[in-house]
Amino acid sequence: MTVRSGPVKIFIGLAVTALLSSGLAYAALTSVTGSECTAAEEDLIPVLKAQKILAVHPRGALARDDYSGCFQDDPFPYAGRFYEFPGARKDYIAFYEAAVKADGWRAAVLMPLGDARTLDA
């Protein structure tokens, strides 16, 4: 008894090709359009980019790149700026600790996951 597998191989090959090409197309599309963002999240990105703290940098630091988008698995947009700083790590940490306080930012108090609680309104 001989089992012919020609049509099965062709079908599996077409299915794999379709999945790969659609996956590559999706990856290309999301990398270009940032389509992980909803319309409401897209509206928040310019607000985040306008934060004064993103333009503040220590003397000698060079702006290298701006970035923004949305996290793929969380409903939160983000924006930021990369700087190249030739100084010591402790110097830029001290600079930004002072800069964020001057801009009105407050440190978040993080709880261990086991201590997470909800507040009743």
Task: Report the Cα 62 to chain-centroid distance in Å.
Answer: 22
* pLDDT digit string, tens, across residues 72-108: 877 789 999 999 999 999 998 999 999 999 999 888 8
By the 10 Å C-beta count (0-12 exposed, 13-18 middle, 19+ buried), 98 is classed as exposed
CA distance 48 to 78: 7
What pTM, to 2 d.p., does this model score? 0.55
Could you tell me the pLDDT band of residue 21, with boundaries at 50, 70 and 90?
Answer: low
Residue 121 has what DSSP assignment? -
In 3D space, the residue among 48, 104, 53 whose CA is nearest the CA of residue 79 turns out to be 48
Please tell me the distance from the alpha carbon of residue 45 to that of residue 76, in angstroms, as a whole number. 10
